[in-house]
C-alpha cells in the first residue's frame, strides 16, 4: 500500500503514521516541528535516531533537514537545477520503433505528486548507510516499483539517450545503475547538494531541459542522458522526502 498526503507518507517497506508536523519560520530560517510521529513496526516507537526524518519543502524553498545525508533506503525527490522540475515517472510509455516502449521518465513542475518519489538502493547496503562519492546506486520509483534506467534508444524530443523506468522488485539489470558524483570534497551525498548521476553502462549524464511534451503529458519536460557534458542541465539536488538517519560507520 502506498499513500501520500500533504505531510504523511506510507509505503510497503517503511510505514509511518504522522500528525502535526508543521513547517515553521524561526528567526528567518525554516525548521521542522513534529508531533506524535508513530512508527508502526512491531515493538512500537524505536529510540531516536532510528526513526526516519520527514522533510518537506514548499515550491522555491528548501526545508532545513535534521540530518543532512542521503542514505540507503531513503525516499527522496530529485530536483533539476535548470528547470526546478522533479524527476518523475508514471504509467505512460514511450512509443515503439525509435523508442523502447518502456515507462517514460519526465521532469514535472508540481511539488506534491507521489510519482516523483524514489527510493535509494545500492546493492545490499543496510538502511541508513551513507552514500559515498562515486558509489553506484539504483533509484526505484515508489509508484510503479520500476528502476530508473537508460540504454541506447533515442530520446523522443532531443534525440539524445532515452531514460526510462524498467523492471520491478524481482527484475533489474546493469542499465539501472548510476554513479553519484559531485564536485566538492564532501565524502557523503548531502541533501540539497549539487550532484550528477552517471549511467554506469554508457557513461551518459542524467539530464533535464525546458523542452516540453504535448499530449498526453503537457507541461512535462524531457529527461534524457547525454555523454561528455557536465553543464547545469546535468545537476540534480535531493529535496524533500523521508531520510533515514546515517548509521554509525
Q: Which domains does the chain have, with CATH numbers?
A: 53-243 (2.80.10.50)
Task: Count helices and strands (H / E) in the chain.
Answer: 0, 17
DSSP string, 130-176: BPBTT-EEEEEETTT--EEEEEEEEPTTTSSEEEEEE-BTTB--GGG
**Residue 247 has what pLDDT?**
87
From the centroid of its chain, how far is CA 54?
A: 14
Residue 134 has a CB neighbour count (10 Å cut-off) of 10
Phi/psi at 175 (5° precision) = -70, -5
Per-residue model confidence as pLDDT tens digits over 195-226: 999 999 999 999 999 999 998 899 999 999 99
b/e per residue 213-235 (b: at least 16 CB within 10 A): beeeeeebbbbbbbeeeeeebbb
Q: How far apart are CA 6 and CA 9, in angstroms?
A: 9
Q: How far apart are CA 214 and CA 240, in angstroms?
A: 28
Which of 39-53, 64-78, 124-138 has the highest mean predicted lDDT (pLDDT)? Answer: 124-138
Instruction: Give the cell for residue 190.
Output: 548531502
Whether the CB-CB separation of 232 and 196 falls below 8 Å is answered with no
Q: How far apart are CA 11 and CA 17, in angstroms?
A: 11
Whether the CB-CB separation of 85 and 223 falls below 8 Å is answered with no
Q: What is the mean pLDDT of the chain?
A: 79
Q: Per-residue confidence at 45, pLDDT binned at 50, 70, 90?
A: very low
pTM above threshold 0.85: no
Query: Which residue, 244, 248, 239, is CA-closest to 52?
Result: 244
Q: Per-residue confidence at 192, pLDDT binned at 50, 70, 90?
A: very high
Whether the CB-CB separation of 240 and 77 falls below 8 Å is answered with yes
Q: Per-residue confidence at 56, pLDDT binned at 50, 70, 90?
A: low
Amino acid at each position: 500500500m502506498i499513500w501520500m498526503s500533504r505531510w504523511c507518507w506510507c509505503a510497503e517497506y517503511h510505514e509511518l503514521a504522522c500528525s502535526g508536523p508543521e513547517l515553521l519560520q524561526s528567526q528567518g530560517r525554516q525548521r521542522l516541528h513534529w508531533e506524535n510521529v508513530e512508527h508502526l513496526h512491531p515493538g512500537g516507537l524505536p529510540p531516536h535516531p532510528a526513526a526516519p526524518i520527514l522533510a518537506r519543502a514548499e515550491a522555491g524553498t528548501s526545508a532545513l533537514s535534521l540530518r543532512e545525508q542521503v542514505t540507503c533506503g531513503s525516499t527522496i525527490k530529485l530536483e533539476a537545477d535548470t528547470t526546478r522540475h522533479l524527476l518523475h515517472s508514471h504509467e505512460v510509455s514511450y512509443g515503439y520503433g525509435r523508442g523502447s516502449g518502456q515507462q517514460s521518465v519526465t521532469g514535472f513542475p508540481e511539488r506534491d505528486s507521489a510519482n516523483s518519489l524514489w527510493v535509494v538502493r545500492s546493492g545490499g547496503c543496510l538502511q541508513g548507510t551513507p552514500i559515498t562519492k562515486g558509489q553506484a546506486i539504483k533509484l526505484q520509483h515508489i509508484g510503479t516499483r520500476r528502476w530508473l534506467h537508460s540504454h541506447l534508444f533515442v530520446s523522443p524530443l532531443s534525440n539524445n539517450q532515452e531514460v526510462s523506468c524498467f523492471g520491478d522488485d524481482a527484475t533489474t539489470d546493469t542499465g539501472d545503475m548510476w554513479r553519484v558524483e559531485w564536485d566538492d570534497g564532501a565524502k557523503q551525498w548531502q541533501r540539497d547538494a549539487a550532484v550528477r548521476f552517471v549511467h554506469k553502462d554508457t557513461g551518459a549524464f542524467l539530464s533535464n531541459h525546458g523542452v516540453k511534451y504535448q499530449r498526453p503529458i503537457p507541461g512535462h519536460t524531457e529527461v534524457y542522458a547525454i555523454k561528455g557534458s557536465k553543464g547545469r542541465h546535468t545537476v540534480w539536488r535531493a529535496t524533500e522526502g523521508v531520510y533515514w538517519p546515517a548509521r554509525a560507520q
